[in-house]
Amino acid sequence: MQCVGLSFRRLYSTKPPTSLPEAARVARTASTPLAVRLRRRKKFGPIAAGASDSTPEGLTPTELARYQRLRAKGQLKEIDGEDVTEAQWIERLNEQRSRVRGLRIVERDGVTDTEVLGRRVYLPNIIMRLVRNNTLPGEPYNPYEATFRIPKSVTKTDIRSYLFAVYGVKTTYIRTDNYISPFFPKLGNKRKAFKTYKRAVVGLVDPFYYPHRVEDMPSQEREEREKWIEDNFQIQATRSMQKYELLRLTKGQAKGWKFKEPLATKRSHILRLVAERRERREGLVLDQAREWQEMRERGELITIDKPKALPPTEEQSSLPAASN
């Protein structure tokens, strides 16, 4: 809409479909809502896998039907006395769609410049989380789609403007759906707010390949990736430090106590300590039985004054003696 040299534009489609790669057209066809696909299949027949339903000019069946309807009603403006073709109509439509709201073209000293209107907003309070696409088993990953988790209040126009203005990402289509959290009886049939979110599937003009997961990498590449992560973020070292501090705090702050990792920190350590004490106890009983047997052979009287104590372990011998 033009008004006294003022151009209000809305960022809709950032690139005409005629310049889209064939893979992007196929991705746009595959992401069509199920109800629309069933209606088109019933009307035009099934579409082969990996094919697009757009015309050579780049019109989707919906846009083609709209063009034919406007042409039949005589509502298309003629260009140089001739009817508007499909390519000219979609080009006009994309020019209208690609207008950015809040800009106007001005001339200063004979130089054309673009001026931003209205209040500028820096650092928008929108958190868009990029997640992996939902790829079915046996199907290839679609690099012309990107999936985001967004706040429920964000609209398609907000997503398109945000991606283009902040990151320069050009989009072709956006599908959104809402995931509502179920009721939890243990919470009094209430919903969990963090389980309710909105998903946006965005069609991309330029392909984007999501990084491979560590578990999907080859063994050598996985080791290099894990080493790089550990060198830059020290995840394992941080976990070990946290475990050390938790064990130190739970052990207590007795005077003269020194933390040792083998002391009852794991189930294997506990079982090892139990086995060592059992072995010492059995050895003490065997020594006492041999001594009594020798005394019986010499004809000496066997008396039980005081049982022998178990020898101290390595951990006990390292502890300081108790003061009276």
pLDDT of residue 3: 37
* Consecutive H or E run containing 108: strand 103-108
- Cα–Cα dist 85/130, whole Å: 39
Q: Are residues 188 and 265 in the same domain?
A: no
Q: Are residues 174 and 224 in the same domain?
A: no
| pLDDT tens sequence across 6-19 | 333 333 344 444 46
Beta bridge partners of 82: 79
Q: What is the DSSP letter of 157?
A: H
Nearest 5°: phi and psi at 173?
Answer: -155, 160
Average pLDDT over residues 246-269: 63
Domain annotation covers residue 253:
no
Q: What is the CATH number of the domain that holds 204?
A: 3.30.70.330
Which token pair is 289? 């039985």
pLDDT of residue 95: 67
Tokens 């979110």 locate to 197
Average pLDDT over residues 206-223: 84
- Cα–Cα dist 20/112, whole Å: 30
Single out the residue of 60, 130, 114, 112 nearest to residue 89, CA to CA.
Answer: 60
Q: Are residues 58 and 106 in the same domain?
A: yes
Domain enclosing residue 226, as ranges: 215-247
* Consecutive H or E run containing 175: strand 171-179
| pLDDT tens sequence across 266-315 | 777 778 888 888 888 888 888 888 888 888 888 888 777 655 665 665 55
Predicted structure pTM score: 0.52
Q: Are residues 106 and 149 in the same domain?
A: no
- Cα–Cα dist 89/70, whole Å: 10
Tokens 């066809």 locate to 29
Domain annotation covers residue 59:
yes
Residues 176 and 198 sit within 8 Å (Cβ to Cβ):
yes
Residues 89 and 76 sit within 8 Å (Cβ to Cβ):
yes
Percent of the chain clearing pLDDT 90 (strictly above): 5
Q: Are residues 20 and 36 in the same domain?
A: yes
- Cα–Cα dist 127/307, whole Å: 72
Residue 319 reports pLDDT greater than 70: no
Structural domains of the chain, count = 4
Q: Are residues 150 and 240 in the same domain?
A: no
Domain annotation covers residue 225:
yes
Q: Are residues 177 and 276 in the same domain?
A: no
Amino acid occupying residue 223: E
